[in-house]
Structures are given as C-alpha cells and as structure tokens.
A and B are shown apart, each in its own frame.
Chain A
Amino acid sequence: MHESTLIRFRSEIRHFYLITVANIVFAALLMAFGISGLVGQAVLIYETFSTVAYVIYSPVVLIIALFAALAGFGWILTSVRVFEGIEAIKDELDEKRGVVSDEDLTRLIVSMLSHYRDNRATIRTMILVCTLGGVCSFFLGVLGSLEFLSVSTDGIVFTLNNYLVIPFMLLTLGVALVSLASSSYFSRFARVWDERLDEIGESEALLKETLELDRR
C-alpha cells in the first residue's frame, strides 16, 4: 500500500510542478507580448498625433495589450507563490529517492495539504487569471496580425498584415492554448484536493475518538 501511495503522490506532485513551471514561463511570455503590444501602440499614438497621417493606432489592441501585460504580471505573482511550496515538497521527495519511510511520506502529504489550504484562494484566482490570460493572448494574436477584417452575411474576409507576423500570431495562440489548458488542469487539481480535504474532515471524527477529545 505504501509503494502505490508513494508512486501516486510523487506523480501528482511532479505533474503539478510541471504545470506551475509552464505557468510561470507562459505568464512571462504573455506579459512580454502585452508590453511589446503597448510599446508598439505607444509609438503609433505618437506618430498619429505628431504627423498629419491618419489615425493608425488601434484602441482595441491597446486595451487588450494592457490587459495582457497586467494579467501576465498577476499570473507570475500567483504562480510563483504556489510554485515555491510545490518545489520544496518535490525537492524533499527527490532527495529521498526511492527510500521514503511511512512517516516521511505522511509528513509530505500533510505539507501538501497545508500548502493547498494556504493557497486555495490563490489557486482559484489562478484559474481565473489563466482563463483571462488565454483570452487576452488569443485576441492579441488574432488582432495583432489582421490588416483588414470584414464580417458580413456573405462571409468573413480578412487579410494578414505581413507573413512575418504569422509566427508571432502562432506563438500568442500557443500561449492562449497553454493558459486555457492550465486553467483546466488547475480546476481539476483543485477539485481533487478539495475532495481530499473533505475526506480528511470525515476522518477527523475517528482521530478525535482516538484522542478521546469527546471525554475532555
């Protein structure tokens, strides 16, 4: 029983660790895209008002870029907080390699439960931030690469800005997909650990009885 518990626990910690690392990387990318979008729009705003040219900046891209930069920043902060706790637990598991005593394993499980209790609200926020980041990234990728878009009853017509923009668009769409996938994984993780907390709540009656708290 101990072996299977250890294998499952180790695999869960590793999977969650990978998601948090991916989150930090993609949050940084989203923030970078947001900032690059903001800088690009700032240049276009300057050109619009300093020359006699037409208005060439896009307020929609500007707002989405601002949202993306802020969401990316918030996403990094929340991911790092969760990452630190998971990293400590994973490092301890890795240090012990194959030999983990019953008590060490229980201690790590308790650590994980207490880390989850501490970060329950943060993980809920991450689910929202990941979704928001994904949506921002998606629109930033699509809008940033479009030169012309027309939606009519005859159909949708669009032209791309430049072939050079396509890799950027694919990258932002990739970030969007990863962040939406992360959001889904965080939801699943939260659901599993919420159920475990409920189970622990039920088990407490037995522990209470053993400790004779009722007769205190």
Chain B
Amino acid sequence: MSGRRTAFEIYWEILVFCRTSQSFTGIVNRCNLNSKTGQEYLGFLVVKEYLVEVADGDKIRYVSTERAGEYIALFNSLYRKLFDTAPRFKL
C-alpha cells in the first residue's frame, strides 16, 4: 500500500503483515517504507511489545504478539464504522 497514510495506519499494516514472521526487508517492501522510517516504526512496536524479534539463523524476523490483536481489532472496527454512519456517497 502506498500514498499518504497516518502512523496508525502504518502500524496496523505492519502488525497484520507480521502475523506470520517476516523479515525487515519484507516488511519495508510490503508497507512501502524506507529503511529509516521502517526501523523507527518497528522499533516503536517492539518497545511497546506489539512485535517480537525472533532469531532465524543469523537474521532477525518480526512476529506480532497477542497484544497486537487488540490494536488490530480496534483499528478494523473504527475504520469500518466510517461506512455504518451517514453521510454516504451515491449517484
């Protein structure tokens, strides 16, 4: 996903993608981030324990924790709610 996104949207995308363990490069490519911002976002999520680092040989992979589920569910419900209430666009 590209385009102008909020930090919360990027966190959500990372956490959903990391439900199965992912490499740093995979996350950065999938979420359309550069390595500097990618490191910032991942660092934050690791500190907050939404992501854990898992050693895979000499590489590190990232996996979402159970705590991430709470954030993902809240995010999903808030964004879907946008279409449950008026106004709506139609021809």
Residues of A within 8 A of B5 (CB): 110, 113-114, 117
> CB distance A2 to B4 under 8 Å?
no
When C-beta atoms are compared, the residue in chain B nearest to A203 turns out to be: B78
With A16-B89, A114-B3, A118-B4 as known contacts, state yes or no: A196 contacts B71, CB within 8 Å.
Answer: no
With known contacts A16-B89, A102-B76, A103-B16, A114–B82 Cβ distance under 8 A? no
Interface assignment of B80: CB less than 8 Å from any CB of chain A: yes
Q: Which of B3, B11, B84 contacts A4 (CB 8 A)?
A: B84
State the Cβ distance, B33 to closest chain A Cβ, in Å: 13
Name the distance in Å between A92's Cβ and chain B's nearest Cβ. Answer: 11
Partner of A1, one of B4, B75, B84: B84
Neighbour of A110 across the interface among B13, B48, B71, B74, CB < 8 A:
B13
Chain A binding surface SS class: helix
Query: Is B3 a contact of A15 with CB atoms below 8 Å?
Result: no
**Is residue B91 contacting chain A, with contact meaning CB distance below 8 A?**
yes
| B79 proximity list for chain A (CB < 8 A) | 106, 109-110, 200
Sort chain B's interface into a size bin: 20 to 34
Contact of B8 among A9, A115, A204 (CB under 8 A): A204
- The answer to whether the Cβ of B6 comes within 8 Å of any Cβ in the partner chain is yes
Give every chain A residue within 8 A of B1 (Cβ-Cβ). 107, 110-111, 114
- Contact (A207, B76) CB under 8 Å given A15-B89, A189-B89: no
- Which residues of B does A touch, CB under 8 Å? 1-6, 8-9, 11-13, 16, 48, 50, 70-72, 74-76, 78-84, 87-91
Closest CB pairs A-B (n = 3) = A114-B3, A117-B4, A8-B83
Binding site for B on A (CB under 8 A): 1-2, 4-5, 8-9, 11-12, 15-16, 18-19, 85, 102-103, 105-107, 109-111, 113-115, 117-118, 185, 188-189, 191-193, 195-196, 199-200, 203-204, 206-208, 210-212
